[in-house]
Amino acid sequence: MIQVAGKQMAWHEGMTVSDLLDELKDPHPYAVVRINQQYVTRPNFEHTFVPDDADVFLIPMIAGG
Amino acid sequence: MPDYDFKDAKTLDYKRPEMENGYTDQTLYINLSDPQIAIKPVAEKTKKTFIGGKGYDLWLLWNAVQPSTRWNDPENALCIAAGPLGGTPIYPGSGKSIVATLSPTTASVIDSNVGGYFGPYLKFAGFDALEIQGKTTAEMVVFIDGVNQKIQLFETSGLPENAYELSAILTEHFAQGKPRNISVVSTGPGAKNTLIGCLNFTWYDSKRKRARYKQAGRGGVGSVFADKGLKAVVACWNNVTADTNKPADKARLKNVAKQHSREIVELDPKQNEMAKIGTTHLVTIMNDHDLLPTHNFRYGQHTQAPNLGQEVYRRMFDPGFDGCWMGCTVACSHGIKDFVPLTGPYKGKKVFVDGPEYETIAGCGSNLGIFDPHTVAEMNFYSDAYGLDTISVGTGIAFVMECFEMGLIDQSHTGGLDLHFGNRDAALEIVHQMAAGEGFGQIVGQGVRRMKALFAKDFGADATIMQDIGMEAKGLEFSEYMTKESLAQQGGYGLALKGPQHDEAWLIFLDMVHNFMPTFEQKAEALHWFPMFRTWFGLCGLCKLPWNDIIPEDNKDTAEPAKVLKHVRWYADYFSAITGNEVDPDDLIKMSESVYNFQRIFNLRMGFGRRQHDDLPYRAVGPVTETEYESRAERYDKQLAEIYKADIDGKSTAEKLTQLRKQREEQYEKLKDAVYKRRGWTPDGIPTHKTVKRLGIDFDEVVELLRANGVNS
Ligand code: SF4
């Protein structure tokens, strides 16, 4: 089980950030998510694995400067 | 006994006016040449048109200077203002001051916003803005004592040169046991000896029992301050509450302030954790998107970037509340305790470093090929203490490092310094030389534009290549984002009124990552709305971070997520609650439009403000060298073939580089056309008569100026 934006979500072995977003069916084009204290950016979504028990935050927009 | 001396030069006792709906309706005028202190009323029309903050600064400056005025003429004015909402302690981010003056590096108007307590204290002492003209050969400290209703000018001697000690001493000197009542504005020796000086504005950190500071960095505002002979300007005020600003509707203010404040407390831990790591999270994010400048903006990525990332600074920052104004729940102004510099006058001693923020990390770290967080912190500490802008320091040193590696300059020019990228000792040595006004550092301190001319004239360096790689526009050094792959952000930098600083528009993710604005018209619309909305913060005395760095959870489902319209509505509510003028979100844009166009016209008055002045160095637009092209060959080849339908088969890198450059430069010119049209400007980038009339800035002088520049309709 993982927490995504405060809600419980099923976890499976080999789950990547891209898988997570697909399974969430959230169409927003996230550029960044945070897993625990680690930032993961879109170029890395496909090859970053989500660990079990992770706390995942979906960061809606990076505003910059 | 302290070994410094204060001698009375002039005093004015005054009666503090009642604050009303965020305004005092008067400004403070000081002339240092023949010491003079005066209080000027604010006309109703000025208030309506210019709102406050940057708007008031610009109006005061416009009336103080002539088109022939230069930055170091006595009539140049240094203006500092809060704004009608500034000083509200219950709404996050409500303590900004805006500084405006004629810049030594751009020769036109520069504005710089900064945290710390000064702007609110100045206002509560009775003044919506401060205007300082004239020059003195003595060292002068101005004391604005709102508690005792007294303005004092002191000739001082024996005070320390650097802002780190000066801020602490002046806080103690004026505090009478209440250091939280004091805010000091000062600079340091670097500002005196270069053209890229910053100002340090203090806020008192009660927990750590020390005066901390934030910087008004851009465009050499600190150099103007030092050139005037100012040692410091100090404001004193006590007891700030939600009533101090005398809001028109306190219940409404409390309601909206509570909503925004609570949302930040709830969501910041889930989003970017700014209360813990400030803006340092941007380092790795920018790096992953090829947007973190490295090696003088050649590349946007480096394998060692995580060494400068949030995980490192999370460990280095001293935990605790770090709000640069009272009650700011974002509280992102972090610092490093017990830092021990390895060089300079504080070598081996424990100091407190205010920062670093993202810009300093990128400017004094990755852009110099330096991936050592300790060096960045040391550059940060000394730049602040010496009164130097870390962005111009970083971008300036990056330029000379590239010139050195290209062989345009060598050790015979640099006084023996080996300026290869990554040389930490050399970078720090340049900062110390800037402060001393000696050696090659003194040259770097003139800014990139002057260096380009000097290297060509005195060292025989190739002016064309320096034009491409010298990262300045309008005379201001670039702040620290890569723009090569975002046409909209090229506009965000190139079309910014004061020069390439990201506070007008930051559109990179919208454009590049989300592809939300594929057409020129959409980009132009963004380059209208965002600069206008961001300008509004500067009119009101606000920090923009609470607007879009912490975002409502449902924001992504809104029609225009980048605008964070829920917050925009809150800001309209906030403005209405304080001033009693009922406004909606569109009104906020209109307020800014008047001031924004006025500033563009101010540039025109100073001999700038036309299309040619919105040009960019090509490094900001695309790859300058074959090596740069080849490092991202797949990307560029694909663009040439698919977007520009170019036949690249069998073409050399040099040929492809030329083709790409032609295309990208054309795109940028088309963007200018679209933006000028959207803003109601001529194709030469000048606001039309119709535009100034619509905005209520068709003063006789403005109309005359437009006519003199061939704009009649
Ligand atoms: S958000 Fe950060 S910079 Fe802005 S006012 Fe708050 S503490 Fe200061």
Q: Which amino acid is at B332?
A: C
Closest chain A residue by Cα to residue B287: A41
- Give B138's contacts (C-beta < 8 A, 6+ positions apart): B9, B155, B156, B229
- pLDDT of amino acid A65: 60
Residues within a 6 A CB radius of ligand 1: B 93, 95, 115, 323-325, 328, 330-333, 543, 545-546
What is the separation, in whole angstroms, between the first and last Cα of chain A? 35
Instruction: Identify whether the C-beta of residue B154 lies closer than 8 Å to the C-beta of residue B6.
Output: yes
Instruction: Identify whether the C-beta of residue B699 lies closer than 8 Å to the C-beta of residue B675.
Output: no
- Which sign, positive or negative, has the C-alpha torsion B82, B122, B24, B37? negative
What are chain B's domains?
5-236 (3.60.9.10), 272-477 (1.10.569.10), 487-550+584-708 (1.10.599.10)
pLDDT digits (tens, 9 = 90+) for A4-40: 988 899 999 999 999 999 999 888 888 899 999 889 9
Averaged pLDDT for residues B649-665? 97
Among the listed residues B572, B610, B565, B569, the one whose alpha carbon sits nearest the alpha carbon of residue B591: B572
Q: How many helices (H) and strands (E) does chain A have?
A: 1, 5
Nearest 5°: the CA angle B343, B450, B101 is 85
| Interaxial angle between packed helices B487-494 and B653-679, expressed in degrees from 0 to 180 and rounded to the nearest 10 | 60
Closest chain B residue by Cα to residue A61: B562
Q: Mind telling me how many Å the CA of B285 is from chain A's nearest CA?
A: 6
Number of CB pairs, chain A paired with chain B, less than 8 A apart: 73
pLDDT digits (tens, 9 = 90+) for B512-568: 877 888 899 999 999 999 999 999 999 999 999 999 999 998 888 888 888 999 999
C-alpha to C-alpha distance for B448 and B459, rounded to whole angstroms: 15
Among the listed residues B245, B237, B26, the one whose alpha carbon sits nearest the alpha carbon of residue B131: B26
| Interaxial angle between packed helices B585-605 and B54-64, expressed in degrees from 0 to 180 and rounded to the nearest 10 | 20
Averaged pLDDT for residues B256-284? 95
C-alpha to C-alpha distance for B501 and B494, rounded to whole angstroms: 9
Closest chain A residue by Cα to residue B357: A65
Q: Does domain A2-59 have CATH number 3.10.20.30?
A: yes
CB nearest B509 (choices: A6, A37, A62): A62
- pLDDT of amino acid A64: 64
Name which of B68-77, B499-508, B587-596 the model is least confident about.
Answer: B499-508
Q: Closest ligand 1 atom to the C-alpha of B278? A: 2
CB nearest A57 (choices: B270, B311, B564): B270
Exposure string of B156-184, with b = 16+ CB inside 10 Å and e = fewer, is: beebbbbbbebbbbbbebbbeeebbbbbb
Q: Closest ligand 1 atom to the C-alpha of B322? A: 7
For residue B1, pLDDT over 60 is answered with no
How distant is the alpha carbon of residue B62 from its chain centre? 20
Question: What's the B592 CA to ligand 1 centre distance in angstroms?
Answer: 21
pLDDT digits (tens, 9 = 90+) for B122-155: 999 999 999 999 999 999 999 999 999 999 999 9
Mean pLDDT value across chain B = 97
DSSP alpha helix (H) spans, chain A? 17-24
Residue B82 vs residues B432, B502, B518: alpha-carbon distances, Å: 33, 21, 37
Instruction: Identify whether the C-beta of residue B87 lies closer than 8 Å to the C-beta of residue B117.
Output: no
Question: What's the B103 CA to ligand 1 centre distance in angstroms?
Answer: 25
Contacting residues of B for A32, CB less than 8 Å apart: 285
Q: Which amino acid is at B212?
A: R
C-alpha to C-alpha distance for A13 and A2, rounded to whole angstroms: 12
Q: Confidence class of residue B333 from pLDDT cuts 50, 70 and 90?
A: very high
CB nearest B561 (choices: A32, A39, A61): A61
Pairing of strands B26-31, A55-59: unpaired
From atom 5 of ligand 1, which residue's Cα is the shortest distance away? B93
Tell if the CB–CB gap between A65 and B502 is shorter than 8 Å. Answer: yes
CB nearest B551 (choices: A37, A39, A60): A60
Nearest 5°: the CA angle B396, B541, B57 is 70
C-alpha to C-alpha distance for B123 and B25, rounded to whole angstroms: 10
CB nearest A57 (choices: B271, B359, B502): B271
Closest chain B residue by Cα to residue A29: B514
Selected for mutation to probe chain A from B112, B274, B289 (highest A CB count within 10 Å) is: B289
Q: What percent of chain B has pLDDT over 90?
A: 96
Tell if the CB–CB gap between A32 and B285 is shorter than 8 Å. Answer: yes
C-alpha to C-alpha distance for B80 and B475, rounded to whole angstroms: 22
Provide the β-strand partners of residue B142: B153, B233
- pLDDT of amino acid B131: 99
Question: What's the B278 CA to ligand 1 centre distance in angstroms?
Answer: 9
Q: Which of B325, B329, B503 to mutate to test the pocket of ligand 1 (most atoms within 8 A of CB)?
A: B325
Question: What's the B111 CA to ligand 1 centre distance in angstroms?
Answer: 18
Question: What's the B564 CA to ligand 1 centre distance in angstroms?
Answer: 18
Tell if the CB–CB gap between B513 and A44 is shorter than 8 Å. Answer: no
- pLDDT of amino acid B513: 79
C-alpha to C-alpha distance for B449 and B219, rounded to whole angstroms: 12
Tell if the CB–CB gap between A60 and B562 is shorter than 8 Å. Answer: no
Q: Which amino acid is at B603?
A: N
Instruction: Identify whether the C-beta of residue A52 lies closer than 8 Å to the C-beta of residue A11.
Output: yes
- pLDDT of amino acid B657: 98
Tell if the CB–CB gap between A65 and B270 is shorter than 8 Å. Answer: no
Q: What share of chain B is helix, strand, coil (3-state, %, to 5)?
A: 45, 15, 40
Rg (CA), chain B: 24
pLDDT digits (tens, 9 = 90+) for B19-52: 999 999 999 999 999 999 999 999 999 999 999 9
Q: For B201, how many CA atoms within 13 A lie in the half-sphere containing its CB?
A: 28
Instruction: Identify whether the C-beta of residue B228 lies closer than 8 Å to the C-beta of residue B514.
Output: no
Tell if the CB–CB gap between B548 and A61 is shorter than 8 Å. Answer: yes
Averaged pLDDT for residues B114-121? 98
Averaged pLDDT for residues B60-79? 98
What is the separation, in whole angstroms, between the first and last Cα of chain B? 67
Question: What's the B272 CA to ligand 1 centre distance in angstroms?
Answer: 14
Concatenate the DSSP letters of all residues of B309-346 into one string: SHHHHHHHSPPS---SSTT-SS----EEEEE--SSSTT
Q: How many helices (H) and strands (E) does chain B have?
A: 28, 17
Instruction: Identify whether the C-beta of residue B371 lies closer than 8 Å to the C-beta of residue B304.
Output: yes
C-alpha to C-alpha distance for B644 and B519, rounded to whole angstroms: 15
C-alpha to C-alpha distance for B298 and B471, rounded to whole angstroms: 11
From atom 8 of ligand 1, which residue's Cα is the shortest distance away? B324
- pLDDT of amino acid B613: 98
Tell if the CB–CB gap between A64 and B481 is shorter than 8 Å. Answer: yes
Question: What's the B305 CA to ligand 1 centre distance in angstroms?
Answer: 25
Q: CA torsion, points B606, B474, B99, B67, in degrees to nearest 10?
A: -10
Chain A interface residues (partner B, CB cutoff 8 A): 5-6, 26, 28-29, 31-32, 34, 37, 39, 41-44, 57, 59-65
Tell if the CB–CB gap between A41 and B289 is shorter than 8 Å. Answer: yes
Please give the helix or strand (H or E) that residue B589 lies within, else none: helix B585-605
C-alpha to C-alpha distance for B246 and B9, rounded to whole angstroms: 34
- pLDDT of amino acid B637: 98
Q: Confidence class of residue B2 from pLDDT cuts 50, 70 and 90?
A: low
Question: What's the B238 CA to ligand 1 centre distance in angstroms?
Answer: 21
C-alpha to C-alpha distance for B199 and B467, rounded to whole angstroms: 29
Among the listed residues B46, B379, B47, B88, the one whose alpha carbon sits nearest the alpha carbon of residue B240: B88
Contacting residues of B for A57, CB less than 8 Å apart: 270-271
C-alpha to C-alpha distance for A17 and A51, rounded to whole angstroms: 10
pLDDT digits (tens, 9 = 90+) for B617-645: 999 999 999 999 999 999 999 999 999 99
Contacting residues of A for B508, CB less than 8 Å apart: 64
Among the listed residues B446, B397, B436, the one whose alpha carbon sits nearest the alpha carbon of residue B417: B397
| Residue ranges with strand state E in B409-523 | 472-473, 476-477
Instruction: Identify whether the C-beta of residue B493 lies closer than 8 Å to the C-beta of residue B616.
Output: yes
Q: How many of the other CB atoms lie within 10 Å of CB of B368?
A: 31
Closest chain B residue by Cα to residue A36: B270
Provide the β-strand partners of residue A55: A3
Residue B180 vs residues B149, B172, B232, B428, B633: alpha-carbon distances, Å: 18, 10, 17, 33, 56
Tell if the CB–CB gap between A65 and B481 is shorter than 8 Å. Answer: yes
- Which sign, positive or negative, has the C-alpha torsion B690, B695, B699, B704? negative
Q: Confidence class of residue A60 from pLDDT cuts 50, 70 and 90?
A: confident
Contacting residues of A for B272, CB less than 8 Å apart: 34, 59
